[in-house]
Structure 1
Amino acid sequence: MLEAIEVMEKVWKREPFHYEGDFYNAGYPSVEATDPDPTRDLNLQSDFTPWGGRQNLEIAVTGMSANSSSMRFAGQRGYLPISFYGGADSVRSHWDTYSAAAVEAGHAADRSRFRVSRDIFVADTDKEAKRRAIAGGLGYFWDRYLVPVYKRYGLLQGFIDDSGTDITPEDVTLDWLAEHVWVCGSADTVTRKLEEMSERIGGFGTIVMNSHDCIDDPEPWFESTQRLAQEVAPRISMPSPVATS
């Protein structure tokens, strides 16, 4: 992925290049200086830059493991960092890795650009939110896919450390996830959980809410997202942007 981004940015410059990497060989066409038609070079170099120009495009890079190399890459390039939440310790390491790389590369380490990805479900009460989350696409996805994957690669321990509970990865259930991993509950509870997370990780700029297939019963999910936008988001304190020159 990182090499692919590097190739794309070379293409967007619309300058001739030749690239041989570990995963891709690429190049941008050029013509001999002796070509009698001086417009041929421009014709060959079609404009593949993003709509509206490269300067209006924000590239975001995700990371999950502690001291993530992709967070370092994002900092070096000035890209947006998105931390897939795997526990407060891993998220703090993401920001530390990103900000150090950004400053070293001459970019501002602006925490207001820091995105954190979470599973969120909002309903009238904590009990109803938990019931709907477990019964819907969120519960199905974690039960059938994420829990087995996280167990296989040892990724549940960060959540367990966060929870303060004395369990093993094999003891993890959907009920436990709804209590300790998902940001699940009434609007008041979800607001409190997000504020507590912000304090533990040092602040964030945007929450990226994971979405799941809810086609069998979409209304609870639509209601949850509406409540998040209208009843939770306006109450969350956000960091001020860092001025850049």
Structure 2
Amino acid sequence: SDQRRRQGEALEAILALLRGEVVNMTTDWFTLRDARAQLPTYDPAGIEVATASTISPNGSVLAGQHGLSLLSLAASSPMGFEVLDRNWGVYEKACAEHGHVADRSRWRLVNPIFLAETREEAERAVSRRIGSMAAYVNRQTGENPAWADTPKGIIDQWRNENLGEFGQAIIDTPDEAIARIEKLIEKTGGFGTMLVLHVDMASWEDTKRSYELFASEVIPHFKNRNRRREDSLQYAADNRELLIGQLVTAITKAHTDYYGEAAATGA
């Protein structure tokens, strides 16, 4: 289609500029004469470029044709979630056809997330400002739905339906975020990065706390940073009779060796 052709032409020009090339290119909708980027990239390999994908396979095809990273914007929406594995398959096929490698570590998924210690605390934190954010989103679409009349209605809509094209928002606890990400891993077969879509719906202090919880509880879960501690605790629980028995025996022996049999027995 004309749209896909024009997208390809624009990407071709952008990638050449990012590689530091001087570009001369004429199409039916733009012309470049001795075009060049003013600043070089920080990475000798160039700036990573990602192609956005929602529900249709167009983004996957375009990314695969040009060897770009894949950015799944609607990963947490019901329709976007259902096609994640299908769109990755399209991406792999397009990459293979054009001599590129489909690398899962370069696949980014997006989800709106706001966390607090409890679900009730998360709802309290967003209730004051979520109305203005909903009005902003709905104004762009020309909608005035009844659910937008109250903070609870907005929270329920964003949790259970979607936040525009960006999917279902997590307004909850770290455990809920972990469960959602695990579902995404299961559906996709693995991806590289979870991108948190920031929605300005809470105070700065509550927002910072949300990111602290994500960093201290969600990330360590998937990095397995606490796995050995958990294994050690489980071993101690499974073998507490043996370990406590040995501890008591060792303390008694040390006491006896130092003070003598009479002191150890209390005689």
Q: Shared topology, TM-score over 0.5?
A: yes
The amino acid across from 1:112 in the alignment is S
**Other-structure match for 1:177:** 157
Give the number of the structure with larger relative contact order, counting CA–CA contacts within 8 Å between residues 6 or more apart: 1
DSSP 3-state at the match of 1:119 = strand
Q: Partners of 2:39 and 2:11 in 1: how far apart?
A: 13
Q: 1:195 to 1:237 in 2, by over 3 A?
A: farther
Identity level (%): 25
The two structures have a TM-score, normalised by structure 1, of: 0.69
Among 146, 151, 175, the residue aligned to 2:137:
146
Q: 1:9 to 1:108 in 2, by over 3 A?
A: closer
Structure 1 position 221, deviation (Å): 1.0
**Contact residue 120 and residue 182 of structure 1 kept, 8 A:** yes
Q: Partners of 2:96 and 2:142 in 1: how far apart?
A: 35
Is 1:204–2:191 an aligned residue pair?
Answer: yes
Taking the TM superposition and a 5 Å limit, the aligned residue runs for 1:221-232 are 221-232=207-218
**Contact residue 3 and residue 23 of structure 1 kept, 8 A:** no
Structure 1 position 95, deviation (Å): 1.7
Among 16, 41, 48, the residue aligned to 1:51:
41
Is 1:4–2:5 an aligned residue pair?
Answer: no
Taking the TM superposition and a 5 Å limit, the aligned residue runs for 1:105-144 are 105-136=98-129, 140-141=132-133, 143-144=134-135
Greater helix fraction, Structure 1 or Structure 2: 2
Is 1:61–2:51 an aligned residue pair?
Answer: yes
**Contact residue 112 and residue 170 of structure 2 kept, 8 A:** yes
Among 23, 26, 35, the residue aligned to 2:29:
23
Is there any run of 5+ residues in structure 2 with no aligned partner, and where?
1-6, 161-167, 225-267
Is 1:187–2:167 an aligned residue pair?
Answer: no
Greater CA radius of gyration, 1 or 2? 2
Q: 1:237 to 1:2 in 2, by over 3 A?
A: farther
The amino acid across from 2:155 in the alignment is D
Say what the alpha-carbon RMSD is for the aligned residues.
3.1
The two structures have a TM-score, normalised by structure 2, of: 0.64
Structure 1 position 18, deviation (Å): 3.0
**Other-structure match for 1:93:** 86
**Contact residue 84 and residue 187 of structure 2 kept, 8 A:** no
Q: Deviations over 1:61-89 (max 9, x none)?
A: 2121321x222111222211110123311
**Contact residue 63 and residue 69 of structure 2 kept, 8 A:** yes
Q: Partners of 2:33 and 2:40 in 1: how far apart?
A: 18
